[in-house]
Structure 1
């Protein structure tokens, strides 16, 4: 009977999310967690809804509870790091992103987040390594390439940045053009 109750609350909350009625979904996740306080799905879902609604403090608290209950989940560490980075808490964000990459080395977003935090901390050599890992995992996403090119410019490595711009011209010409404008690095390319 408890299992049916849990399923009912969960599916009703999901239905409200599908209908983009976050307040109703949040109320059901709260109810679910009152009855099943250590439910990982309920905690994670509640944290995501809170973050979407802009209640970063409550979302962070929910992710911290998730980390207590499920510390071996890289996704939870990534989400925690994301909220910390967004709040400007770069050192703790770095620790969370590093833990996420240790637990889930294929989690490309964690490598990207780590790279961004390291850029903010002005640790450009480490940022370049994290962003290289991100681009290996997501070679067709322009975001990691863009940031990596910017790091190369900041490290006074214009040829490395040009190489990335040429690469981006093959599949993201708008991003390549943006980098050329921002960096002043003109790159000859074939259309």
Structure 2
């Protein structure tokens, strides 16, 4: 994970993607790897991928605040005028 985080911070998205996916091969329940893949997809404008990655993190930990927050940002940006209670 630390290598992926360093790659992500150094704007090496391809390297970070490979590292996080390797982490997931070894530990499919790693919510942080799923979350970080979601963050990178979100930043790249791949909202469907980001949503799927955040959803995977939330399957593992439904109270994972960072993933919940970023998923809410995705939903807000996809339908910004939808009322909150709809």
The TM-score bracket by the shorter chain reads 0.7 to 0.9
1:155 aligns with 2:66: no
1:105 aligns with 2:66: no
Residue 28 of structure 2 aligns to a residue whose secondary structure is coil
User: In structure 2, what is the Cα distance between the partners aligned to 1:114 and 1:54?
Assistant: 22
Higher relative contact order (CA 8 A, sep 6+): 2
Number of residues of Structure 1 aligned to a counterpart in Structure 2: 85
* Structure 1 residues without counterparts, runs of 5 or longer: 1-43, 123-150, 161-191
CA RMSD of aligned residues (A): 1.8
Listed as ranges, the matches of 1:61-76 within 5 Å are 61-76=18-33
* Structure 2 residues without counterparts, runs of 5 or longer: none
> Match for residue 117 of structure 1?
74
TM-score between both structures, scaled by the size of structure 2? 0.85
Deviation at 1:76, TM superposition (A): 1.4
> Match for residue 45 of structure 2?
88
> Match for residue 142 of structure 1?
none
Look at both structures and tell me which one has the larger radius of gyration over its CA atoms.
1
